[in-house]
Amino acid sequence: MSKDGIRVVIADDEPITRMDLKELLSGEGYQVVGEAADGFDAVEVCKQARPDLVLMDIKMPLLDGLSAAKIVYEENLADTVMMLTAYSEREFVDQAKDVGVAGYLVKPIDEKSLIPSIELAVARSKDMKKLRKDMQKVS
């Protein structure tokens, strides 16, 4: 899949972070199809936009990013969820794995690490989605 085809939702409670990510991703050819400042809005935006990728912060008001990621994953509202957060503690990483998160990057993020991480996470998620469909056909 080309970058032009990757539709992204950015969920972060910091407006400057959302703006920076949107500018960076748009400049790289991604389509930013929605933004959210809290977990509830992130879920709602995903229901509307059905993005390929959600970049989500962990600590957000109302509903935290891990809880929102779990809902997005379980309701199949996006193909891939990646966490972009300032928290690198093992507890958060383990929780992210448990809720189906495909990538975890610690802020501050630079373009050199973000773009390859996105490409790999989206590709693996597409592979897994295809595998699940193939398994359903077989059974």
Q: Is the pLDDT of residue 63 over 70?
A: yes
Residue 17 lies in domain:
3-138
State phi, psi for 79 to the nearest 5 degrees.
-75, -40
Mean pLDDT of all residues in 88-105 = 94
Q: Is the pLDDT of residue 1 over 50?
A: no
Which one-letter DSSP state was computed for residue 3? Answer: G
- Dist. CA 70–CA 97, nearest whole Å: 10
Q: In this predicted structure, which of 25-29, 80-84, 105-109, 129-133 has the lowest mean pLDDT?
A: 129-133
Mean pLDDT of all residues in 80-86 = 94
Return the CATH number at 19.
3.40.50.2300
pLDDT band at 3 (very low <50, low <70, confident <90, very high): low
pLDDT, tens digit, for every residue of 4-56? 589 999 999 999 999 999 999 999 999 999 999 999 999 999 999 999 999 99
106 close to 72: Cβ distance less than 8 angstroms: no
List Cα–Cα distances, 1 to 29, 67, 127, in angstroms: 12, 28, 12
How confident is the prediction for the chain on average, in pLDDT? 92
Question: Ramachandran region of residue 18, left (φ > 0), alpha (ψ -120 to 50) or beta?
Answer: alpha
State phi, psi for 61 to the nearest 5 degrees.
-70, 165
State phi, psi for 25 to the nearest 5 degrees.
-70, -40
- Dist. CA 14–CA 57, nearest whole Å: 9
How many domains does the structure of the chain reveal? Answer: 1
Which parts of 11-110 fold into alpha helices (H)?
A: 15-27, 39-49, 65-74, 90-98
